[in-house]
Each structure stands twice: as C-alpha cells, then as structure tokens.
C-alpha cells in the first residue's frame, strides 16, 4: 500500500458500502488500513443491507439500515469484548462486513443427472426437473459464521451449487412422498412447489438464509419414454390403423402421379398401387361370404283313393290331370304326411283351386 493510501486511511470517518448493481455480492468486508475505526466514525447502512462487526473472529453487533455514530452506546457487544468501561477508545481495530439482505430472485435449480424414481404406472423411471427460486439473508450473524468466514467478497455463485444440491435432494423426497404418477405431476406443480419449499426452507435457515419463493417449472421424462408416449397418442388419434394405411397408400399414388420424376415416380406409384391392391385383396378375402338363398320348399304330395284303393302319392300337377279326366272327384278321399286322417279332396286348400279350374262334366245325352 502506498503512503498516500495509508494517509488517506487514517482520515476515513465514513464506513459505507455502495453495492455494485452488476455484481451478485452477498457479503462485502469494508477495507481500510489495519482495520482501524476512529472515534466518532459514521456508519451508513442502506436499505437492503446489514452491517456485522467482527473482532478477532468473534461476531459482535449487527446494525440495521440507518446512520450511526460509532460509540459505546450503539456497540454494546463490541464494547464488552474490548473492555470499554468509560467510553469509546480511538482508534480500535475491528472488521465490518456489509451483508446484502435484499431478495435475490430468478435463481435457477435443476437436476444435473436424471433421477431414478418409482412410478405407479411405468415402474422405475428416470426424470429430470427444473425450476427457479428466490432467497434472502435474514440472519446476518449466522450467514457470516457459516458461509462467509473471512471471504472479503462473498458472491452468489459460491453458494448456488450447495443450494441446488439441497433443493434437488428435498424435491425428490417430496415427489416420492406425494406418490403421484409422472403424467399427473404437470397439473400439480403448484402443490409440489409449496411442499418442496416447506422441506427446503429449514435446510437453508441453518445457514442464515430464508427461501422466499420456490417454483417447479418442468418435470420431463427421458427422450425414449417421451417418444413412446407420442406414439401411443398418435395411435389413439388415428383409431383404425387399417383405414389409415389405405388412406396413406392412396395419397402416395396421387403424389407419385403428380411427380414428374419419370421412371422413379412411376416405380413409386406402381409400388404403392401394388401395395394398395394387396391390401384391398386382403380386405376382400377377409370379408365374410355372401349367404346363399335357402332351398325351395318341396311340393305337396297327396295320396288319393281311386276305385276303392289308395293311389299315389301325386303332386298337384298330377292331381290336376286326374281331376280333369274324372279319376278324382270332389268327394274322393285324400291324405298327405302330417294329416291325422283321410278327408274329402275339396276340403283341402291346395286342391280347391284345382277343382275350380277343372271343366264341369259333360251332360249325358
């Protein structure tokens, strides 16, 4: 350090930290020559900050936002450590850490590697999860003791990996306890976020940090599982695959006919046509055969008593001939299978029409 810097350090009477907006600094140790603070020095703590006094490794007073004149009245713990009985001694050596207590938003978390889980529908499965969170330092003394230690400029990236590990571990426990199928997690992001926040917050509180917000933005499956689900969805949308195949073949024939690619296009068209013909042939072969008509009913056959003896059986055409030649009359007895006995011929409906069409007998001379 140059003589000019040393001389300037002797006259520092304002202790403050203007946090640079482009850096993510959580804790900043105020620099000065030999860590000396003079009698009546002014301490300025801005909103979103806290000042922690550390003397020889012991954490003393914590100052909230405001302007202070450093004396024994506002530094009671430090006065006790230094043994001040009758007033502020100048100068005294002490480190001052400014802690950023504002909320740090849009911090990302995610699983670096797929996490193996047991799903009630798919069984053991690997998943990835991503999201964001926000935090703030609420216990500056614990924060300095557990994390900052002697680091003169403690930044967010130095703790981000530890936060991510805690979040991922507790998030996996949360999903396992909820026991929701993977496909149902999408509709339960808000519930998972709240449950995970409740499990992660106590872990961060041990380091003086409060988890103010936690969001689950995505839970994804391995690419091969997503591809299988896509295929399953496509099959559900297509429905009848046979009809879809025929439609695709017809589309291929149309495209080949419109393609001016000569023999190549013709070959594609012929191949699609052959495939479509085979499909149509298979469909026709698989179609049920057309039912044949039932056989014609058999003509009625009657036995008739002629000249005192049973004759026949005769069909209706033969009986008609015998009626016309007088061999069978209306009073002739007739019978066919299924009838209980012999009856007069003109009482049978089948024969009544034959008698009506027969000519009457010739008159006698």
Number of domains, the chain: 3
Tell whether 295 is covered by a domain: no
Among candidate residues 197, 221, 245, the one where a domain is terminated: 221
Same structural domain, 129 and 213: yes
Same structural domain, 86 and 119: no
Tell whether 250 is covered by a domain: no
pLDDT tens digits along 134-143 = 999 999 999 9
The CATH code of the domain that includes 116 is 3.30.479.30
Three-class SS string for the chain? CCHHHHHHHHCCCEECCCCCCCCCEEEEECCCHHHEECCCCEEEECCCEEEEEEECCEEEEEECCEEEECCCCCCHHHHHHHCCCCCCCCCEECEEEEEECCCEEEEEEECCCCEEEEECCCEEEEEEEEEEEEEEECCHHHHHHHHHCCCCEEECHHHHHHHHHHHHHHHHHHHHHHCCCHHHCHHHHHHHHHHHHHHHHHHHHCCCEEEEEEEEEEEECCHHHHHHHHHHHHHHHHCCHHHHHHHHHHHHHHHHHHCCCCHHHHHHHHHHHHHHHHHHHHHHHHCCCCCCCCCCCCCCEEEEEECCEEEEEEEHHHHHHHHHCCCCCCCCEEECCCCCCCEEHHHCHHHHHHHHHCCCCCCCC
Same structural domain, 69 and 83: yes
Tell whether 207 is covered by a domain: yes
Residue 34 sits in which domain range? 3-100
Mean pLDDT of 19-28: 84
Tell whether 135 is covered by a domain: yes
Tell whether 245 is covered by a domain: no
pLDDT tens digits along 98-146 = 999 999 999 999 988 888 888 877 788 888 899 999 999 999 999 999 9
Same structural domain, 215 and 320: no
Mean pLDDT of 352-358: 72
Same structural domain, 191 and 124: yes
Same structural domain, 121 and 217: yes
13/158: higher pLDDT: 158
Same structural domain, 7 and 44: yes
Tell whether 266 is covered by a domain: no
């Amino acid at each position: 350090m140059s003589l000019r810097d040393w001389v300037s350090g002797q006259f520092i009477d304002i202790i403050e930290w203007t946090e640079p907006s482009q850096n993510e600094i959580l804790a900043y140790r105020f620099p000065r020559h030999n860590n000396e603070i003079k009698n009546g020095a002014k301490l300025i703590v801005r909103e979103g900050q806290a000042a922690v006094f550390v003397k020889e490794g012991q954490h003393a007073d914590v100052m909230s936002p405001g302007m202070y004149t450093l004396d024994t009245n506002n530094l009671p713990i430090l006065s006790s450590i230094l043994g001040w009985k009758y007033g502020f001694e100048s100068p005294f050596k002490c480190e001052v850490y400014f802690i950023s207590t504002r909320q740090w938003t849009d911090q990302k978390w995610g699983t670096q590697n797929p996490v193996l889980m047991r799903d009630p529908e798919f069984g053991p499965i690997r998943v990835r999860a991503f999201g964001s969170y926000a935090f703030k330092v609420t216990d500056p003394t614990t924060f300095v003791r557990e994390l900052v230690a002697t680091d003169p400029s403690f930044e967010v990236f130095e703790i981000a990996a530890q936060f991510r590990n805690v979040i991922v571990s507790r998030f996996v426990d949360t999903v396992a306890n909820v026991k929701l199928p993977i496909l149902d997690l999408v509709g339960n992001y808000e519930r998972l976020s709240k449950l995970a926040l409740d499990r992660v917050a106590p872990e961060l509180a041990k380091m003086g940090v409060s988890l103010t917000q936690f969001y689950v933005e995505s839970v994804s499956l391995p690419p091969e599982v997503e591809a299988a689900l896509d295929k399953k969805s496509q099959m559900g949308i297509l429905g009848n695959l046979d009809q879809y195949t025929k439609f695709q073949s017809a589309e291929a024939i149309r495209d080949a006919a419109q393609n001016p690619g000569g023999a190549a296009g013709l070959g594609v068209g012929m191949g699609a046509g052959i495939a479509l013909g085979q499909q149509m042939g298979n469909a026709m072969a698989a179609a049920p055969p057309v039912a044949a008509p039932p056989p014609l009913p058999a003509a009625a056959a009657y036995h008739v008593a002629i000249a005192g003896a049973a004759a026949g059986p005769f069909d209706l055409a033969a009986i008609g001939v015998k009626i016309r030649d007088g061999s069978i009359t209306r009073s002739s007895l007739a019978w066919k299978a299924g009838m209980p006995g012999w009856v007069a011929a003109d009482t049978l409906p089948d024969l009544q029409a034959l008698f009506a069409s027969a000519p009457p007998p010739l008159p006698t001379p």
